[in-house]
């Protein structure tokens, strides 16, 4: 889908796996070999993104916009990619564009966490004085990242990442592309469902 969008001047694949890098090369992606410390189960997005940007910069390439495609969710269309670029052009202050889905059942004010004694309490803080509806349809819409790709404006964050953790690289002016919920690949059934999704959306 990245190739079909026809908007990228340079394309790279970051991985610690030579098989993945060799496969990506067949599709025109230049390899970036991750060091071992960035290839761990607890390695963070920000560190691998910073590493990739450093390697790209050392090759003499100036990056204005960086699109990060995540391998754990393959449900991306070329239309999503071009729509993200259009949002950057129409919203010059945007620091990132991300596909999201609207979620009511897992809304933050409906979430709970356990204290040290195992007692459940509101995840986002107690609300004894503020009336919050127990009807999910009455709540302020909440959005979650689809985790298929992240479009980052490097030119608007030239002084460093300006956003909040856990995703500081998204910056402080995040524009959404609303999609349906897209599932991370974590089992064979999801792989098969993702293949079917790609077949149904291959023309978009």
pLDDT digits (tens, 9 = 90+) for 115-126: 999 999 988 877
Q: Does 97 share its domain with 124?
A: no
Give the count of domains, the chain: 2
Which residues, including other chains, have CB under 8 Å from residue 33's CB and lie 6 or more apart?
15, 16, 18, 21
Q: Which residues of the chain have pLDDT under 50?
A: none
What's the whole-number average pLDDT of the chain? 88
Q: Does 34 share its domain with 126?
A: no
Which residues, including other chains, have CB under 8 Å from residue 123's CB and lie 6 or more apart?
108, 111, 112, 113
Q: Does 190 share its domain with 124?
A: no
Q: Does 131 share its domain with 186?
A: no
Q: Does 73 share its domain with 20?
A: yes
For residue range 154-171, list pLDDT tens digits in order. Answer: 999 999 999 999 999 999
Domain that holds residue 121: 105-140
């Amino acid at each position: 889908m990245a190739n079909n969008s026809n908007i990228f001047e340079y394309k790279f694949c970051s991985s610690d796996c030579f098989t993945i890098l060799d496969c990506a090369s067949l599709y025109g992606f230049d390899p970036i070999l991750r060091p071992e410390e960035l290839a761990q189960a607890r390695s963070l997005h920000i560190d691998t993104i910073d590493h990739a940007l450093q390697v790209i910069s050392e090759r003499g390439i100036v990056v204005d916009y960086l699109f990060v495609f995540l391998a754990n969710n393959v449900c991306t269309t070329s239309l999503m990619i071009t729509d993200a670029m259009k949002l950057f052009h129409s919203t010059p202050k945007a620091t990132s564009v991300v596909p999201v889905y609207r979620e009511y059942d897992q809304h933050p004010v409906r979430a709970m966490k356990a204290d040290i004694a195992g007692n459940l309490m509101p995840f986002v803080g107690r609300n004894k004085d503020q009336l919050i509806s127990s009807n999910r349809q009455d709540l302020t819409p909440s959005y979650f990242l689809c985790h298929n790709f992240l479009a980052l404006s490097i030119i608007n964050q030239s002084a460093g990442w300006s956003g909040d953790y856990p995703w500081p690289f998204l910056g402080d002016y995040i524009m959404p592309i609303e999609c349906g919920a897209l599932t991370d690949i974590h089992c064979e059934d999801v792989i098969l469902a993702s293949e079917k999704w790609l077949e149904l959306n291959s023309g978009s």
